[in-house]
Structure 1
Amino acid sequence: MSRIENQFIVHFWGVRGSIPCPGPHTVRYGGNTSCVEMRVGGKRLVFDCGTGLHVLGKSLLPEMPAEAHIFFTHSHWDHMQGFPFFTPGFVKGNTFHIYGAIAPDGSTIEQRLNDQMLHPNFPVPLQIMQANLYFRDIKAGEEIKIDDVTVQTAPLNHPGEAIGYRVNWKGGTAVYITDTEHFPDRLDENVLWLARDADILIYDSTYTDEEYYCENSPKIGWGHSTWQEAVKVAKAANVKQLLIFHHDPAHDDDFLDKVGEEVKEKFSGAIMAKEGMELQVCVS
């Protein structure tokens, strides 16, 4: 087995939520929206297609023909807006397996990706893409097998619904939980189940508690969590590394530096997710 085929690597291509925020004050953490790649035993898994997917796509051009399994948590704009700009999707010979849940209105992930590329929203339709695109509708709670890689799923607490993912391979585990809102009186059992004993937990930490509970502009009901809740989950689930993720576009580098210091005091295994960051999961 080659070195690449025996590795479990997590790469962050976009770590922001809501809207891209490029500029001099977001250089260190990055301004692209959600996109995380996991290279697991020679296979490529991609979680969400925010604007970070465009950067990932450029990195794949020297490696074509390319193949990847793409998982959507949901189809809010910041998690799918990079898909029309995914260059490898337009190249014949590439293959992409695309997974997503049927929305409450009954639409499939294929329909939603198609709709965002129709006039007047976009100049070229989905059908222009020449890569092999295989769409699969999934349900929260379903387990997906990709050879010896297992992907477990569970529902998240988000307006319009969302799915969290747990990737297992050779005793190593990385968990992707974004766009979920914590409950006021208890930890979410679905989140705890996904995060249990994880080597890496990537968690929606859009707000601070002060912002979330602010009397003048509370964020309650917006579908996102706080870094303080992330710490509670990480401790309760016995997580090794916690990645603070889905940074609010209003949080500049200096603000996130301060959050990072505060998180580290509460949980020594906490890391602030940064665009371009790469972590390795230990496997047997």
Structure 2
Amino acid sequence: MSNRPITEDDLHAYVDRALEPEREAEVVAYLEKHSDVAKRIAAFSDQRDLLRSALLPIAEEPLPPQLNLARIIESQRRPRAPAFRWAIAAMLLLSIGGLSGWVIRGATQVSTSGLTALAQEASESYRVYASDHIRPVELRDSTELVQWVSSQLRQPAKLPDLSKSGYRLMGGRVVPTAHGPAAMFMYDDDHGERLVVLTRPMTSDQNAPMAPLAGGDVGGFSWADGGMGYSLVGHGAAESLRPLANEVRKQARSI
């Protein structure tokens, strides 16, 4: 590992995924020690994913014939009646307006991705299942749960052990998301406080430093390692859950 300081250029290159593997590892280590910078960079990554998702379908569409530069130049060389020239201008304006509509349509219909999506999915799972006092989890046997989760995620899964932190496993279930199935593990303590750990494969932000999340009465942390995303959420401020998130990340890395 080099002793070069991490610069803004390095951070932007990290967002653009343009760093060499060794330098990327140094940036990841730096972000893990600087949560304020990590939060800012995570926001940049989310913006990048949103723009790419919004503009990709449009970029693949063929250019409308009315906007073809060669055709426009050719039409200008031909003698036209004044009224017909106005009709051509109006057509071009309508075409440009239609293209703008396509851009706006794509931008408004885009769905979140990366850590932002994972955090939302974990928060939604917490709100739905943590308040359920009848059937908050589907499977309670840890062996059966691991086997089921592993088969649905198509890779080995490991249950985080939070007993030393005062939380016992209640069980879990597989929950559907816009990005495929995710494993939800639920824990509670002697006071009835519940936590949810959500994990699934990531299509973007496959290696991302821990970032805090907050949404009303739900707080927690999300991160990604080696293509797997993790989000720990619970009731209260995010910072109070940082030790638990660190413990889950430590255990996940030992798989």
TM range (shorter): under 0.3
Larger radius of gyration: 2
Bigger RCO (CA 8 Å, 6+ sep): 1
State TM-score, norm by structure 1. Answer: 0.25
TM-score by length of 2: 0.27
